[in-house]
Amino acid sequence: MVCINRLLGDIFLLTNFYRNKEKFQLLKSSELGLSAMYRILKKAGAERVSDESADELRRTIEDMAQSIAKNAVEMSKHTGRKTVKGEDVKLAAKQFTKS
């Protein structure tokens, strides 16, 4: 009986997942905290911050950080180092900074 209930519960979760993929994407684990995104937007002058905007900021920053990290690792390997240094990150981040 217990196994059947578990199986039915799993089937329910999967059908809900496929019906509401967008909602479940918001629940995906993240390296950055959502509360930090609210604070950043508030410090930038926002009076009110929606959940959607905080989540979008988090996704955007994570994408940029992933790109910078990959480029920094490539730069350190190119110079024959295993250690990623601050200068690698600074150079990798130049593509995202204003000229």
**For 15-24, what is each residue's pLDDT tens digit?**
655 565 555 5
Instruction: Give this prediction's pTM.
Output: 0.66
Question: Which pLDDT belongs to residue 19?
Answer: 60
| Residue 95, number of CB atoms within 10 A of its CB | 10
Could you list the residue range(s) of the whole structural domain that residue 54 is in? 2-96
**Cα distances (Å, whole numbers) of residue 23 to 13, 17, 29, 74:** 13, 8, 13, 35
Question: Which pLDDT belongs to residue 3?
Answer: 56
Q: Total domain count for the chain? A: 1
Q: Is the pLDDT at 77 greater than 90, yes or no?
A: yes
Q: Is the pLDDT at 99 greater than 70, yes or no?
A: no
CATH code assigned at 6 = 1.10.20.10
The larger pLDDT score, comparing residue 7 to residue 94, is at 94
